[in-house]
Amino acid sequence: MQIAQNSVAAFHYTLTDDEGQVIDSSEGREPLTYLHGSGQIVPGLEKQMEGRAVGDKFIADVSPEEGYGVHHAELMQEVPREAFQGVTDIQPGMQFQGRGPQGEINVTVTKVENDKVFIDGNHPLAGKTLHFAIEITDLRAATEEELAHGHVHGAGGHHH
């Protein structure tokens, strides 16, 4: 069996940046399981998973356009400290949820200067080429229920 639309695939991965620094890994954890074709993983990786089989090991390089997007300068802003009501100690790296023109947006504090807070609404991996080391560990056809719900259900059943 090969990975195709509506199949459930499980894989171990190590994600690194251009410098070889590990960003994320499934090492020591269960493999990541997803429903192929449902947009649960970045598009560039999903394309490279197509046609793979259990036991396949490969490197998938994903461009920003097919990963977490390009970096948009307009998503970087300076806001007054008063905008963070109830938060007394604002530090770089902290993440908050805010409202933008398109609805909810996650922002990361990049710098704090007196009464100004600098935030970035880009995904932390926006603008970066992603390097995945992949090992396919399991593959099966999705169940009717999984297809109807658009995601994988666990071995012990699933309730909404």
CATH architecture of the region 73-120: Beta Barrel (2.40)
Would you state the pLDDT for residue 155?
55
Which one-letter amino acid corresponds to residue 83?
A
Would you state the pLDDT for residue 158?
45
At the top level of CATH, the class of 7-68+126-149 is alpha beta
Give the strand pairing for 22-25 and 103-113: unpaired
Alpha-carbon distances, residue 108 vs 20, 64, 67, 68, 88 (angstroms) = 23, 19, 19, 15, 16
pLDDT tens for 128-148 read 999 999 999 999 999 999 999
Give the chain's mean pLDDT: 92
Give the strand pairing for 116-120 and 7-16: unpaired
How many Cβ atoms are within 10 Å of 124's Cβ, its own excluded?
13
Kindly give, in sequence order, each residue whose CB lies less than 8 Å from that of residue 35, ignoring residues fewer than 6 positions away: 6, 7, 8, 142, 146, 147, 150, 151, 152
Going across the sheet that includes 116-120, the strands are 76-80, 116-120, 103-113, 95-100
- Domain positions in the chain are 7-68+126-149, 73-120
Structure tokens given for 88: 């007394």
pLDDT tens for 30-84 read 999 999 999 999 999 999 999 999 999 999 999 999 999 999 999 999 999 988 8
Structure tokens given for 151: 């995601």
Are the C-beta atoms of residues 60 and 132 closer than 8 Å to each other? Answer: yes
Cα gap 160→144, rounded to integer Å: 16
